[in-house]
Every structure is written in structure tokens, then in C-alpha cells.
Amino acid sequence: MEYKLAIIGFGNVGQGFAEILRDHGPRLLEQFGVRYTIVGVSDTLKGSVHDAAGLDPSDLIDAVRLSGNLDGVDVPDRGWDGAEMARLSSADIVIELSYTDLETGEPATGHIRAALEAGKHVVTSNKGPVALHYAELAAMARERGLEIGVEGTVMSGTPTVLTGMHLLRAAGIKRVQGILNGTCNYILTRMEEGSTYEDALDEAQKKGYAEADPAGDVEGFDAAGKVVILANLLMGVPIGMDDVDRTGISGLTPADIAEAREAGERWKLIGTLEPADGGVLASVRPERVPLSHPLASVGGATNAVTYSTELLGDVTLVGPGAGRIETGYSILVDLLEIHRTAPRAGR
Ligand code: HSE
């Protein structure tokens, strides 16, 4: 079966996903019987291309690598903005990967509404629309018999959201605790190794972990967005960003790091959801944990989440939390989930 895809936002994740299709397309066809064809890409900086007959992922990746834009890709249709790509493209599934805005959720939310109104499934790793508008978007999708895949919004391709929503829900998730921001964990790890805060942040940006505006990472907004997503999707508690008691890592000094080390402890930015008075208490804050704590050994951009459940006790997932291929993989997982649950979606 063939699925046609339109990608909105062709930064690290979009290109990582295109690389996965370029390098693993034949295996996906053999393993799952699916062919994913990119028909459109729209990016505010790199330009916009559409060809209903399909675009070669190699051409897209090479164009961006060589010239920084998509101008040299030969196509019948070009110049569509994100909303136009969502509406007009010949895609079955729109992949929304524009930049994250955790205050307004735009422009991504508008792109997703446009895609659903046009009868297209949506896959996104963009935290803005999911943290701020998931209930509305999920209802829109449901009314139309469409799917929204959001696996990559938390811990990139490490299977956190679908595992929690489908495989652990019956176990009764009571409490969630995790290291949910790769950039902060990378910075804290590098500072322990002697790097300065500035150098470590610079490295995290170069490695593609950090948000376009890294304040979203270091001030804890990104982790708070993930806590909100997990509360809404896994625990069914409709909290918003303002409900998270949030502190970032920008106030931590080399002296704080050294002091923790001398005490046999380590700083981690920890997101927590725990029951309180019929609702949940949600927080993101730097915490000093003993080296024996299960989260203490999670270093670099690696993330971890512990789901405390009624029937299984603690279940901990550890894996990549950011990165182009790692997040690109989450897109593939959501696409295959659509193939599994909505088998008539392609053609
Ligand atoms: N900036 C995020 C992080 C990317 O560092 O974890 C993945 O959401």
C-alpha cells in the first residue's frame, strides 16, 4: 500500500525522516508492505515544493545540503505555505514539523486543523499543538475518522507515548517521573565533566538537540510541555502549561555542580506528575539525586521516564530524547500505527 506524505517544516527532524525513507524504504516495503512517498515539503526558510507524482528523498536532502534550500528541486507546484500544503497537497498524511511554540501552538495548530479539515491524517512531533490543543485536535480527528500520531512529542523515538497510552493504561499509571529534556541533561552531564554552561549549550545546539530558541529547553518549558502531554494523554487529566510548577537549569552554577559531586549526588532536571486531591501535581525542577537513584546514571541527551503503575509497579523506559534520526523514527512509528489502525488510509 502506498501513502503519500506532505512534510511541513524541513529542519533536523524532517530531514532525518527523509533520510530514513531514503535508506530504509525497501526494507519498510518488505517488512510492512508499505511505500511512503513524499509528495510535498513546505518550509518557511527553505522554500516549498510539491509533485503529486512523488519527490525523491535524496533530491530533497541533497538540495538542502548543497544550497540550504529547495529552489533547485524540479517540481510542478511550488511556493505553498504550510496551511496551503496541508490543504492543497495530494497527501494522505500531513507530517507537521514546524518550530515549536509552547505559548500559542502556532503556526503548527493551524496546519493541523487545515490538514484534518482536508481529510488528511496527521503525524507530529511538535509539542506546541499537543500540549495546548490536543483535546480539540483529537476530537476533530475522531469526528472525521482520522488519526493524529504524537509519539515524537515526548522522548523522540523512544516509545513513550504509545507505550503509556496503549500498553500501560490498563496497569493504572499513578505517577510519572522522568528526565524529559535532552538538552538540559546533556548540559548537566557536560558541566560535570568540566565544560562551561555556554560551551555545553553550544554543543547541544550543534548536535540538533536544542529548540530553535534554547530558552525553551534551559528554562524548563520544553520539559513542562512534555509533562502536560503525559498528564493529558496518559492520565486523562486536562492540565495546561500554567499548572506546571517549573524551574529550569539556567540558575545552576559550576559551584552547585561541584557541591553535588562532593556529596555523592548529581543534578538532574526532573519532571514529575503525582496524584494530589483528585488531580495531579505537576512539576519540572532541578533536583539533586544520589548516584544510586535510577535516574542518576542517565547521561548526555538520553531521556528516561518511570511509570509507576498499580499492576506492574515501576516500568522505566530509557532512550534517546532528541536528535534528527531519533525523532524521525517517531514519525515512522506513527505512520506505521496509522497503517495498522486505519488500513484504508493509503491507496
Ligand atoms: N529540545 C528538546 C530536547 C528536543 O532537548 O529534549 C526534543 O523534544
What is the arrangement of strands in the sheet containing 2-8, beginning at the earlier edge strand?
Answer: 77-78, 47-55, 35-43, 2-8, 93-96, 121-124, 148-149
Instruction: Centre a 10 Å sphere on the Cβ of residue 328 and count the other Cβ atoms it contains.
Output: 25
Predicted pLDDT at 294: 86
Distance CA 86, CA 178 (A): 34
Tell me what percent of the chain is helix, strand and coil, each rounded to the nearest 5. 45, 25, 30
Identify which of 87, 12, 7, 17 has the alpha carbon closest to the alpha carbon of residue 47: 7
Q: List pLDDT tens digits, range 97-118.
A: 999 999 999 999 999 999 999 9
Q: Is residue 162 part of a domain?
A: no
Q: Is residue 46 part of a domain?
A: yes
pLDDT at 279: 86
Any domain includes 340 = yes
Residues 119 and 245 in one domain: no
* Percent over 70 (pLDDT), the chain: 99
Judge contact between 54 and 44, C-beta under 8 A: no
Q: Are residues 214 and 316 in the same domain?
A: yes
- 202 found inside a domain: yes
Tell me the CATH number at 131.
Answer: 3.40.50.720
Residue 135: inside a domain: yes
Residue 95 DSSP one-character state: E
- Whether residue 214 is preceded by a cis peptide bond, meaning omega within 30 degrees of 0, is no
Q: Which atom of ligand 1 is nearest to the CA of 321?
A: 6
- In this structure, which residue's CA is closest to atom 1 in ligand 1? 210
Per-residue pLDDT band at 130 (split at 50, 70, 90): very high
The candidate with the shortest Cα–Cα distance to 186, out of 158, 214, 148, 212, is 214
pLDDT mean across residues, the chain: 95
- Closest atom of ligand 1 to CA, residue 217: 1
Average pLDDT rounded to a whole number, residues 272-301: 93
State the average pLDDT over residues 229-253. Answer: 96
HSE, side-chain direction, 13 A CA sphere, residue 40: 28
CA of 253 to the centre of ligand 1 (A): 22
Residues 131 and 7 grouped into a single domain: yes
Q: What is the residue-wise DSSP string for 18-81?
A: HHHHHHHHHHHHHHHS-EEEEEEEEETTTEEEEEEEEE-HHHHHHHHHHHSSSTTS--SEE---
Is residue 226 part of the annotated active site? The answer reads yes
Going by pLDDT thresholds of 50, 70 and 90, the confidence category of residue 345 is: low
Same domain? For 315 and 341 the reply is: no
Q: Please indicate, yes or no, whether residues 62 and 108 belong to a single structural domain of this protein.
A: yes
Identify whether residues 180 and 197 lie together within a single domain: yes
pLDDT at 343: 57
pLDDT in tens, 42-91: 999 999 999 999 999 999 999 999 999 999 999 999 999 999 999 999 99
Q: Give CA–CA dist 121/12, Å, rounded.
A: 22
pTM for this entry? 0.95
- What is the pLDDT at residue 17? 98
Instruction: Give a yes or no: residue 125 inside a domain.
Output: yes
217 in the same domain as 80? no
Report the residue among 155, 184, 211, 305 best suited for mutation to probe ligand 1: largest number of ligand atoms under 8 A from its CB: 211
153 shares a domain with 184: no
Whether the per-residue pLDDT at 344 is higher than 80: the answer is no
CB atoms inside a 10 Å sphere around CB 141: 17
| 275 plus 309 within the same structural domain | yes
CA 217 to ligand 1 centroid distance, Å: 7
Q: What is the pLDDT of residues 146-175, one digit of tens each?
A: 999 999 999 999 999 999 999 999 999 999
- When pLDDT is averaged across residues 13-21 and rounded to a whole number, the result is 98
The predicted model gives 292-310 an average pLDDT of 94
Say which residues have a Cβ less than 8 Å from residue 48's Cβ, sequence separation at least 6: 40, 41, 42, 70, 78, 79, 80, 81, 84, 85
Residues 6+ apart with CB under 8 A from 61: 15, 18, 19, 22
Query: What is the CATH number for 273?
Result: 3.30.360.10
- Let me know if residue 110 belongs to a domain: yes
Q: What count of other Cβ atoms lies within 10 Å of the Cβ of residue 264?
A: 10
User: Would the CB of 157 count as within 6 Å of ligand 1?
Assistant: no
| Most informative mutation of 13, 209, 268, 324 for ligand 1 (most atoms within 8 A of CB) | 209
Residues 58 and 19 both lie in one domain: yes
My answer on whether 23 and 153 are in the same domain is yes
With a 6 Å cutoff on the Cβ, whether 225 touches ligand 1 is: no
Yes or no: say if 246 and 283 are a contact pair by the CB < 8 Å rule.
yes
- pLDDT band at residue 301 under the 50/70/90 scheme: very high
Pair 187, 214 in one domain: yes
Residue nearest to atom 8 of ligand 1 (CA): 322
Query: Which triple of cell numbers denotes residue 80?
Result: 505553498
pLDDT in tens, 329-342: 999 999 999 999 97
Expressed as residue numbers, the domain containing 123 is 2-157+325-345
Q: How many domains does the chain have?
A: 2
Residue 222 lies in a domain: yes
